[in-house]
């Protein structure tokens, strides 16, 4: 008697998706809660990022309690769970920090890139009017809480919604031009 492997859909499909820790109340101040969300997944290839996201989604993710050893330099510099290499070694060898395979596209951004973007954003906000500053800050804070589930590298749509131009410098310049045009429109309305 040989048994054939079963193919096709399952015999009894689930009526609703499984939710990890459905009846457990989560403390919002613990890591993974609302006030201390899990960090961005950075320095890995898309395949490894999907694996780590799956662990987070289904309650299998275990964050590091203390830094782990890097497999290349043997320093305790690995700060993200499921990573085998520190960010410096991964960047130096152009490999994924989890699976150590050579990849063209690495997911996530560097700390230096994030800081540079933050400085540019602050400069653009400083040139905006008070009303626009507050609306931008509200939109940014709202976007942070909603985009944690989405891929952090896919924020071009958000930027397109917030800014009508492609770069922050152009946005700051556009605001200065809009102010001059608004003043000239007001003068023409008073004359008419």
Each residue's pLDDT tens digit, 97-114: 999 999 888 887 766 777
Q: pLDDT at residue 191 above 70? A: no
E-assigned strand segments in the chain: none
Cα dihedral 97, 99, 105, 110, rounded to 10, equals: -10
* Strongest mean pLDDT among 26-30, 68-72, 124-128, 170-174: 68-72
What's the gap between Cα 113 and its chain centre? 13
Q: Compute the Cα dihedral for 136, 134, 169, 181 and give only its sign.
A: positive
Mean pLDDT within 159-177: 59
- pLDDT at residue number 77: 92
Coil, strand or helix at 76: coil
Task: Report whether pLDDT(182) > 70.
Answer: no
Q: Angle, nearest 10°, between helix axes 111-127 and 168-191?
A: 10
pLDDT at 6 over 90: no
Are 104 and 93 a contacting pair, CB within 8 Å?
A: no
**Average pLDDT across the chain, whole number:** 78
Question: Can you tell me the mean pLDDT for 148-170?
Answer: 52
pLDDT for the residue 189: 53
Residue 108 near residue 40, CB atoms below 8 Å: yes
More confident residue, 176 or 95: 95
Is the pLDDT score of 51 beyond 90? yes
* Between 160 and 42, the higher pLDDT residue: 42
pLDDT at 24: 82
Say if CB 106 and CB 43 are below 8 A apart.
yes
**Is the Cβ–Cβ distance between 71 and 84 less than 8 Å?**
yes
The pLDDT score that the predictor gives to residue 178 is 56
**pTM of the model as a whole:** 0.55
Contact 136, 125 (CB under 8 A): yes
117 vs 178: which has the higher pLDDT: 117
Delimit the domains of the chain by residue range: 38-108, 111-181
Say which residues have a Cβ less than 8 Å from residue 192's Cβ, sequence separation at least 6. none
d(C-alpha 15, C-alpha 8), whole Å: 18
Choice between 131 and 159, residue whose per-residue pLDDT is larger: 131
pLDDT at 134 over 60: yes
């Amino acid at each position: 008697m040989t048994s054939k492997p079963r193919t096709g859909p399952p015999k009894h499909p689930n009526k609703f998706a499984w939710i990890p820790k459905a009846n457990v109340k989560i403390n919002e101040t613990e890591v993974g809660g609302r006030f201390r969300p899990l960090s961005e997944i950075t320095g890995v290839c898309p395949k490894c990022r999907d694996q780590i996201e799956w662990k987070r989604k289904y309650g299998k993710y275990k964050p590091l309690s203390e830094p782990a050893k890097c497999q290349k330099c043997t320093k305790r510099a690995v700060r993200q769970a499921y990573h085998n290499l520190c960010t410096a070694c991964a960047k130096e060898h152009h490999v994924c920090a989890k699976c150590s395979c050579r990849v063209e596209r690495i997911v996530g951004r560097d700390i230096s890139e994030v800081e540079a973007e933050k400085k540019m954003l602050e400069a653009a906000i400083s040139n905006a009017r008070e009303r626009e500053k507050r609306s931008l800050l509200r939109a940014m804070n709202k976007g942070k809480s909603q985009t944690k589930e989405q891929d952090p590298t896919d924020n071009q749509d958000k930027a397109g919604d917030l800014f009508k131009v492609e770069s922050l410098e152009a946005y700051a310049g556009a605001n200065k031009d809009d102010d001059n045009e608004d003043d000239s429109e007001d003068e023409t309305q008073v004359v008419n």
